[in-house]
């Protein structure tokens, strides 16, 4: 925390099973909120409403008899703003601070007609006394109303969802590449262009500390590391050398062929090979592997003259996240009429800058020694 004027009043959520109703969070989730105590009292964001009572207790413990002058709403998504009504019930005199879109969107959730509001635009400032907040718009990182707040005196950037990660603070107090990547690519991955625009704005700021809405605060080297990772992720560039093999297998034969391909790649000196069974892995993790590696192999059984559903669903997720700029090998399996490669090829044709390695490997039933040459050929193409 920058100085004794800044107070953390966020909460750790270990009760949640799926964040946003879809993402596994085995280490929980944090919803971060801060208070700046100055001549004016400013609260930045609230928390998920499941924790409204605990949150308001923390706020009260910091404020004592003072009341907040401002509540900055960086992001309307309910994991941050759904305690707003409970907050207003206790502190009805507070002025809400947001941009024009913030208030349009808040009215989808709350009746705010009697609540004071301060509408801010890009670059405008709000003086709290010894501290001044400057507002930086960050549309689509992750919703259209998102804005960051830069505190000029202590050079603290309140970064909203940007630079966040999965994991409660009591379990994951430090930045973790894997959980930050899985969070970023699944939550904001589609909006790489908008993230790059915000990174450019942030490059013009001297930043001593980043305080995101989820996960740990970042200082010094951790800031440089996180900014570098975001530069890679937002540009859809591969992050690591190696091959990710994702398979959807009906009776284990496609899985066996995928494992054989992994062995061959390993023997040929591939620096890293990761295998995942799409029926059993966390889909958000499989998606993060697709962004991490530059070369991917998709292996699927044929099912009802199409693609096995776990692979079909995964291809849909890749498209939804704007996945691009990769080299992809295909492997299909089918006992009488293999069709999965055709379907996967068609799905990939809708994505940007995807190079499909031809020909696809075709297995009929169990993988056999006669299939080794085509597996070797795919491995060679991947390593070329
Ligand atoms: Fe953490 Fe987009 O909400």
User: Which residue's C-alpha comes closest to atom 3 of ligand 1?
Assistant: 77
Backbone CA torsion sign across 296, 302, 305, 306? negative
**Contact in structure between 36 and 84 (CB atoms under 8 Å):** no
State the distance from the centre of ligand 1 to the C-alpha of 74, rounded, in angstroms. 10
d(CA 35, CA 230): 27
Tens-place pLDDT, residues 14-28: 999 999 999 999 999
d(CA 13, CA 8): 15
Element at 52 (helix H, strand E): helix 52-63
State the distance from the centre of ligand 1 to the C-alpha of 75, rounded, in angstroms. 7
Q: Region of 227 please: left (phi>0), alpha (psi -120 to 50) or beta.
A: alpha
State the distance from the centre of ligand 1 to the C-alpha of 334, rounded, in angstroms. 42
**Contact in structure between 8 and 34 (CB atoms under 8 Å):** yes
User: Which residue's C-alpha comes closest to atom 1 of ligand 1?
Assistant: 161
> What is the 3 state secondary structure string of 100-122?
HHHHHHHCCCCCCCCCEEEECCC
Tens-place pLDDT, residues 84-123: 999 999 999 999 999 999 999 999 999 888 899 999 999 9
Tens-place pLDDT, residues 233-269: 999 999 999 999 999 999 999 999 999 999 999 999 9
d(CA 316, CA 321): 9
271: helix, strand or coil:
coil
209 pLDDT above the threshold of 90: yes
Tell me phi and psi for residue 27, to 5 degrees.
-100, 15
**Contact in structure between 187 and 135 (CB atoms under 8 Å):** no
- At what angle are helices 253-267 and 372-383 packed, to 10 degrees? 50
For β-strands 240-248 and 293-303, DSSP reports them as parallel
Q: What average pLDDT is seen over the chain?
A: 96
Distances (CA, A) of 186 to 85, 196, 199, 244: 29, 16, 18, 17
What pLDDT shows up at residue 293?
98
What pLDDT shows up at residue 123?
96
**Contact in structure between 297 and 261 (CB atoms under 8 Å):** yes
Distance of CA 342 to the CA centre of its chain: 31
275 pLDDT above the threshold of 70: yes
* For the CA of 214, the nearest atom of ligand 1: 1
Residue 381: exposed, middle, or buried by beta-carbon count in 10 A (0-12, 13-18, 19+)? middle
Q: Where do the H-state alpha helices sit in 169-252?
A: 177-187, 192-203, 220-234
* For the CA of 187, the nearest atom of ligand 1: 2
Work out the percent of the chain whose per-residue pLDDT is above 70: 100
Ligand 1 pocket, residues with Cβ under 6 angstroms: 75, 77, 79-80, 142-143, 161, 213-214
* 1 confidence band (pLDDT: 50, 70, 90): low
316 pLDDT above the threshold of 80: yes
State the distance from the centre of ligand 1 to the C-alpha of 77, rounded, in angstroms. 6
pTM above 0.85, yes or no: yes
Distances (CA, A) of 194 to 138, 187, 234, 287: 7, 13, 8, 20
298 pLDDT above the threshold of 90: yes
The angle formed by the CA atoms of residues 67, 68 and 73, to the nearest 5 degrees, is 155
- Residue bearing the bigger pLDDT, 142 or 165: 165
State the distance from the centre of ligand 1 to the C-alpha of 268, rounded, in angstroms. 43
Distance of CA 245 to the CA centre of its chain: 22
């Amino acid at each position: 925390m920058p100085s004794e004027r800044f107070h953390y009043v966020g909460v750790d959520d270990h009760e949640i099973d799926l964040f946003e109703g879809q993402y596994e969070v085995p280490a929980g989730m944090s919803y971060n909120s801060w208070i700046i105590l100055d001549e004016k009292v400013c609260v930045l964001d609230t928390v998920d409403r499941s924790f409204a009572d605990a949150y308001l207790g923390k706020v009260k413990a910091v404020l004592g008899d003072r009341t907040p002058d401002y509540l900055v709403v960086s992001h309307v998504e309910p994991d941050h703003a759904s305690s707003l009504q409970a907050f207003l019930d206790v502190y009805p005199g507070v002025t809400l601070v947001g941009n024009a879109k913030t208030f349009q969107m808040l009215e989808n959730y709350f009746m705010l007609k009697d609540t004071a509001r301060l509408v801010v635009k890009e670059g405008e400032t709000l003086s709290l006394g010894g501290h001044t907040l400057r507002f930086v718009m960050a549309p689509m990182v992750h919703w259209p109303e998102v804005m960051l707040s830069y505190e000029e005196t202590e050079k603290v950037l309140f970064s909203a969802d940007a630079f966040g990660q999965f994991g409660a603070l009591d379990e994951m107090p430090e930045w973790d590449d894997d959980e930050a990547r899985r969070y970023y690519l699944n939550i904001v991955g589609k909006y790489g262009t908008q993230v790059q625009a915000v990174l450019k704005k942030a490059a013009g700021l001297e930043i001593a500390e980043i305080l995101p809405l989820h996960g740990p605060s970042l200082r010094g080297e951790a800031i440089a590391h996180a900014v570098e990772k975001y530069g890679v992720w937002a540009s859809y560039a591969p992050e690591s050398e190696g091959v990710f093999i994702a398979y959807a297998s009906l009776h284990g034969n496609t899985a066996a062929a995928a494992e054989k391909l992994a062995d061959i790649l390993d023997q040929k000196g591939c620096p890293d090979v990761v295998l995942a069974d799409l029926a059993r892995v966390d889909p958000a993790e499989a998606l993060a592997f697709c962004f991490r590696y530059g070369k991917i192999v998709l292996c699927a059984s044929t099912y009802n003259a199409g693609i096995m559903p776990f692979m079909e669903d995964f291809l849909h997720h890749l498209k939804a996240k704007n996945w691009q700029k990769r080299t992809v090998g295909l492997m299909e399996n089918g006992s009488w009429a293999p069709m999965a490669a055709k379907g996967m090829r068609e799905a990939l044709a809708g994505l940007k800058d995807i190079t499909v390695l031809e020909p696809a490997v075709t297995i009929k039933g169990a993988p056999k020694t006669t299939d080794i040459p085509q597996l070797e050929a795919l491995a060679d193409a991947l390593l070329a």
